[in-house]
Amino acid sequence: MTQASVCFIGAGNMSRSIISGMVNNGYDPKLIYASNPSQPKLDALQADFGINTSNDNLAVAKQCDVIVFSVKPQLMEQVCNHLAQLDLSNKLVVTIAAGIPAKRYQDYLKQPIKLIRTMPNTPTQIGYGMTGLHAQDNISDEHKQICELLMQSGGKVVWVEQEDELDQVIALAGSSPAYFFLFIESMIETGIKMGMSEQQARELAQQAALGAAKMVIQNPEQSLATLRNNVTSKGGTTAQAVNTFEQGDLRGLVDKAMHNCVARAKEMAQTF
Ligand SMILES: NC(=O)C1=CN([C@@H]2O[C@H](COP(=O)(O)OP(=O)(O)OC[C@H]3O[C@@H](n4cnc5c(N)ncnc54)[C@H](OP(=O)(O)O)[C@@H]3O)[C@@H](O)[C@H]2O)C=CC1
Ligand SMILES: O=C(O)[C@@H]1CCC=N1
């Protein structure tokens, strides 16, 4: 499939993650543009990936087939309003912002648009991303394929039928790298308190996390409970640790955290 020209409006963490995935996967950097008000992130993107950069959202959006909105949700209205003067009828609009519903973009851009909402995550940067996608009814298969190509460069993609399922994607994949980072961070802190060097504690915890994630992926026929039980010798050390988590209601806490994550996405949908 021919590669489309793509501009990223906002050159922060997530744009960098997606651009990195695209370029590492063979996307022509000459077809990628990023626009940002401040210069350092643009310079780094240009140096690292050889893409085009600009401080002018309007100029890059005018030039490209695909516009990816990648600013914080609270800035979306202002950024879209500025681009409303462009004729977007032949362009695909993609957004990665949490919360903001598809219909709001049409209001902000003041014209009918072809929009795909996506919810990626930062591991996209290293090819292990997970992105949820939702297309409005007016999106062609070609546009779906174009968007899929962008997001697949950084990992896996899943299409959801209903737009509000993207909120669940946020709780399970968009935000969840932070949950795992917090867990590993806590383990490292305790490892240090127990007398390990930070480097040693990190190496032990990160390798255990990687091994555990790979075991989950490579054993789809085994339940998580089985994998857990295989580590947990009766009367042994793991049982003590796992019981501590269960008594502290880790599951309840995870449930509460994920529901709060979804609730915030819904609140953002009302706010921005
Ligand atoms: N981080 C994540 O894990 C994920 C984030 N998202 C979504 O991605 C979006 C971006 O998040 P993230 O990358 O983390 O945020 P960042 O703050 O890292 O990036 C946002 C970028 O937008 C730039 N910006 C500010 N004003 C403008 C403007 N007027 N025109 C163009 N660019 C502008 C900022 O520039 P400057 O710093 O110079 O002000 C910054 O570089 C959000 O909507 C978020 O919901 C989705 C999935 C995962
Ligand atoms: O925290 C946020 O709002 C964004 C969306 C998912 C990950 N980061």
SS3 string, the chain, reads CCCCCEEEECCCHHHHHHHHHHHHCCCCHHHEEEECCCCHHHHHHHHHHCCEEECCHHHHHHHCCEEEECCCHHHHHHHHHHHCCCCCCCCEEEECCCCCCHHHHHHHHCCCCEEEEEECCHHHHHCCEEEEEEECCCCCHHHHHHHHHHHHCCEEEEECCCCCHHHHHHHHHHCHHHHHHHHHHHHHHHHHHCCCCHHHHHHHHHHHHHHHHHHHHHCCCCCHHHHHHHHCCCCCHHHHHHHHHHHCCHHHHHHHHHHHHHHHHHHHHHHC
CA gap 271, 254 in Å, rounded = 25
How far does the centroid of ligand 2 lie from the alpha carbon of residue 123, in Å?
Answer: 13
CA gap 118, 147 in Å, rounded = 9
CA gap 6, 116 in Å, rounded = 14
Strand 66-69 to strand 129-135: parallel, antiparallel, or no bridges (unpaired)? Answer: unpaired
How far does the centroid of ligand 2 lie from the alpha carbon of residue 119, in Å?
Answer: 9
Which residue among 13, 39, 182 has the greatest number of ligand 1 atoms within 8 angstroms of its CB, and so is best to mutate?
Answer: 13
Query: What are 244-251's contacts with CB under 8 Å, separation 24+?
Result: none
For ligand 2, whether the C-beta of 98 sits within 6 Å is yes
Q: Which fold has domain 6-163?
A: Rossmann fold (3.40.50)
In order of 104, 116, 210, the CA distances from 161 in angstroms are 19, 12, 31
The answer to whether 268 is a known ligand-binding residue is no
The answer to whether 154 is a known ligand-binding residue is no
Q: Which atom of ligand 1 is nearest to the CA of 76?
A: 43
Tokens standing for residue 253: 């806490």
For ligand 2, whether the C-beta of 125 sits within 6 Å is no
Tokens standing for residue 137: 């009814």
Digit-by-digit pLDDT tens for the chain (272 residues) are 789 999 999 999 999 999 999 999 999 999 999 999 999 999 999 999 999 999 999 999 999 999 999 999 999 999 999 999 999 999 999 999 999 999 999 999 999 999 999 999 999 999 999 999 999 999 999 999 999 999 999 999 999 999 999 999 999 999 999 999 999 999 999 999 999 999 999 999 999 999 999 999 999 999 999 999 999 999 999 999 999 999 999 999 999 999 999 999 999 999 99
Q: What are the domain boundaries of the chain? A: 6-163, 176-269
For ligand 2, whether the C-beta of 88 sits within 6 Å is no
Task: For tokens 């992105």, name the residue.
Answer: 131
Ligand 1 atom 44: residue of nearest CA = 97
Q: Which fold has domain 176-269?
A: ProC C-terminal domain-like fold (1.10.3730)
Topology match between the domains 6-163 and 176-269 = no
Ligand 1 atom 48: residue of nearest CA = 121
Report the pLDDT value the prediction gives residue 2, as an integer from 0 to 100.
Answer: 81
User: ipTM score of the complex?
Assistant: 0.98
